[in-house]
Structure formats: C-alpha cells, structure tokens
Amino acid sequence: METIKQTQKKYGSRAMSLAIIVAMGLIVLGEKAAGKGLILGTLFSVVNFILIGATLPRTVGHKKRAAILISFVSLLLRYALLAIPIVLAIKLDQINIFTVIIGIFMIQLMILVDHLPLPLGQKRASS
C-alpha cells in the first residue's frame, strides 16, 4: 500500500507534467494566456492535494468535535487557496479562466485516469 507522500508525488508529478506539456503546446499555438492558466490552476491543485494529505493525520486521534473543527477549517482554507487562481484569472487578461479551472481539476483527472479499467489482458504497471 502506498503512503500518502508516495500518492501525492505520483499524482502531483503526473498532473504537473501533463500541464506543462499541454501548456507548452498552447503557447506554441499562440494561446499564452491559456497555457499560463493551466499551469497556475494545476500548481494550486497540487498544493491543495498536499494540504489534504497533511491534514488527514491531524484529524485522527482527536475527539469527534475537534476532528470536525480541524476538518472544517482545513476545508475553508483549501477553498480560499483554490479561489486565488480563479480571482487572478478574473482580474488579469494574461490568464485564461477556463484553463485555470481545468488545471484545478487536474489532480482529480489523474486519479480518474489511473483507475479507468484497462482492456482485457492488460495489467497496470505499478508506479
């Protein structure tokens, strides 16, 4: 079984790698704002994912009320964190809001793709 850090590294590096490759393609095609938005959204998505992993162990071992409070405060802070790239994209013309939103969901996309069923006869490579 993977540790939290291994899982974060796997999905975070996959998400950033894909975002960088796609962003470079967008920039080459003349869509600089879209490329910047994708990188910005993905970066904040990765930071959010790391914060989720950091707060999970802190809720374990506390009384129910304290665990709920820690989880709620963590959720609010992470929502505020994810609002930053969206607000930047709204304020700045140099950043595309649609690709920021796609970037924010990049970690979830990587997890989803990782768990898609493979064609018959193929086995998933362990990474």
* pLDDT value of residue 58: 78
* Backbone phi, psi, residue 69, to 5°: -65, -45
Q: Domain total for the chain?
A: 1
Contact 36, 23 (CB under 8 A): yes
Is the residue at 51 inside a domain? yes
pTM: 0.86
* Domain interval for residue 90: 4-108
pLDDT digits (tens, 9 = 90+) for 49-65: 999 998 888 788 888 89
Is the residue at 113 inside a domain? no
